[in-house]
Every structure is written in structure tokens, then in C-alpha cells.
Amino acid sequence: MNRPATLAAAPLILAALIFAAALSRLLPHPPNFSPIEAVALFGGAYFINRGWALLVPLLAMFVSDLALGLVNGGIYWSWFASAGSLLIYACIALSTLLGFGLRGKVSGGRVLGYSLAGSVLFFLVTNFGTWLGGALYPQTGAGLAAAYVAGIPFFQWTVAGTLFYSALLFGGFELLRNRHPALRTQTA
């Protein structure tokens, strides 16, 4: 690929990586082992256009949610139509904003730190939302604590999934950038 063609293809390469990671949710995996936070951080770190940085991860996750709904049917469709799914999309947007902090400063240590921060953000927001919904936990301090305690077993998988997909996306893109120097400039 020549330099102008590679540079012009950069947004498509980023989007393809994000969509591929999002669609990997269709593969069997432990609960909460997913690319949700990683795709958001990756988009925030590399898309120059902040609108695309927000839109592409949200759209990729939406497409993967539609595919999961088609594959899994009723139960997934009911969750997808719930307020809980809106919290997931809010976490994606917030993690993309978090990913803006990686712009031009991507390193293994920073990606690790941001991935852990994104996982904690996801844990705090989604478990708070579960408590706030009121269906599972009483609207008390003890109920909120119970919601967070109940989320701990899922948190380990959130962290593992975020770290795995962050390594895959950021590491894979770094390999591409080494092979195609035109991708070394901040992208899209």
C-alpha cells in the first residue's frame, strides 16, 4: 500500500478492527468477557475526529447487539430494549471520552491503566444502574452495597476481557503501524 492510500484507508482500518472486536461477542465467552471498554478506548485514542471516535464504537456495539438478538432471540431482545442497555451505551461513550486521554500517548502502561479505569467505570455505572432500577435491590445504602457485591464475580471477567481486547486492538494496530508507516500519524 502506498502512503496516501494507507492514510486514506486508516479510518476504515480502525473501524474494521472495532467492528471485528465487537462481533467477537457472538463467540462463546464467560459473562462480561467482552470488548466493550476496549473498543471505546481504542476509538477514543486513534480517531482524530471526535465524532467518529464516539460513533464507531457505539455503532459497532449496536450491530453486535442486533446480531446477538437475532442469534439468541427473546431474552436478549428484552434486555436490549431495557434501560440497562442504555447504561452500557453510556459506558461506551464515557470510555471513549476516557480514551481521548491516550491520544498521542499510547504505551503499554497507559493502555493498562486506562483499561483498568474503564473496567472500574463500567462496574460502577452498571451496578449502580441495576440498584437504581429497584427490581433486584432495595433503594437503601445496604441495597446499593449488595448490588456492588453481587457484581464482583462479573468484574473479574470485565477486567480480563478489557485487558485482552485492549492488548489485541492496541497491539494489533501497533503492528500494522510498524508495517505501514503512513498509519503512524494520528488517524482519521
pLDDT tens track for 33-80: 999 999 999 999 999 999 999 999 999 999 998 888 888 777 776 766
Residue spans of the chain under pLDDT 50: 1, 188
Q: Report the pLDDT value the prediction gives residue 1, as an integer from 0 to 100.
A: 46
58, three cell numbers: 457505539
Q: Report the pLDDT value the prediction gives residue 181, as an integer from 0 to 100.
A: 78
Q: Report the pLDDT value the prediction gives residue 78, as an integer from 0 to 100.
A: 72
Q: Report the pLDDT value the prediction gives residue 33, as an integer from 0 to 100.
A: 95
| Domain boundaries defined on the chain | 12-23+31-184
* Measured distance CA(119)–CA(137) in Å, rounded: 22
Q: Number of C-alpha atoms within 13 angstroms, CB side, residue 181?
A: 2
Packing angle of the helix pair 83-99, 50-72 (nearest 10 deg): 150
Q: Report the pLDDT value the prediction gives residue 120, as an integer from 0 to 100.
A: 97
pTM of the model: 0.90
Q: Report the pLDDT value the prediction gives residue 4, as an integer from 0 to 100.
A: 52
Work out the burial of residue 148: count CB atoms within 10 Å of its CB; fewer than 13 is exposed, 13-18 middle, 19 or more buried: middle
